[in-house]
Amino acid sequence: TQPRPAKVSRVDITNTSATGRATPSSPRFVLPPAIGSPDLVRKSPVALSDAEQAIMNDMGPEALKNELADAMVAAFKLMEISSFLNGRECKYLEERDTAKEEAALLRQSLEQAKVNHAAYKDRYKLQAGLVTQLTEKEKEAARLVEEKAELEGRLKELSTERDTLAGKVKDLESRPCSSGTAP
């Protein structure tokens, strides 16, 4: 058996960002860093590195079959991982949608609470005005009750004085007149 050649980078020099995604304008794309960059795969030709091609050219049919089986297992593993991550992302998207719905309901509830609060403030102002009017009317009623008591006292005094004067008038009318002339 021959010793394996030294490891060679599978990626040609491309303009990659911090996310590891290469831009679609790169001239050539070498497998496998295509993960996560669908535009890159669609717009760039896919090629094996020269070292990888040399290794595959030296392989026999059985070794190529095994290499193909390993690549298929890796591809299926990649599909499983992709499916799992998509499912997880769908779960997060569902949670996001649920959170958005809850936020909308909470906004509605807040708006209703604001409307209720405004109505409560209006009722409170009205009640405060009515309480002020009631206090004024109670003071006026107390003053009128006091005035009534004074007037009733004055009425009794005047009635007593009238009765006294009526008694004096009777006395004077019942006395014989000394001058001889009737009043």
Q: What is the pLDDT of residues 41-68, one digit of tens each?
A: 677 666 778 898 888 889 888 998 998 8
> How many residues are given for the chain?
183
Q: How confident is the model at residue 91 (pLDDT cuts 50, 70, 90)?
A: confident
What's the pLDDT band for 19 if we cut at 50, 70, 90?
very low
Give the residue among 51, 54, 47, 53 at the shortest CA–CA distance from 33: 47
Give yes or no for a contact between 26 and 47, defined as CB atoms under 8 angstroms apart: no
Tokens for 136? Answer: 């004024």
Query: How does residue 30 score in pLDDT terms, banded at 50, 70 and 90?
Result: very low
Averaged over 1-8, what is the pLDDT? Answer: 66
- Measured CA to CA in angstroms, residue 47 lies from 10, 68, 73, 162 at distances of 10, 16, 20, 134
pLDDT of 15: 47
pLDDT average, residue stretch 114-142: 95
**Tens digit of each residue's pLDDT (9 = 90 or more) over 69-88:** 998 999 899 888 888 887 77
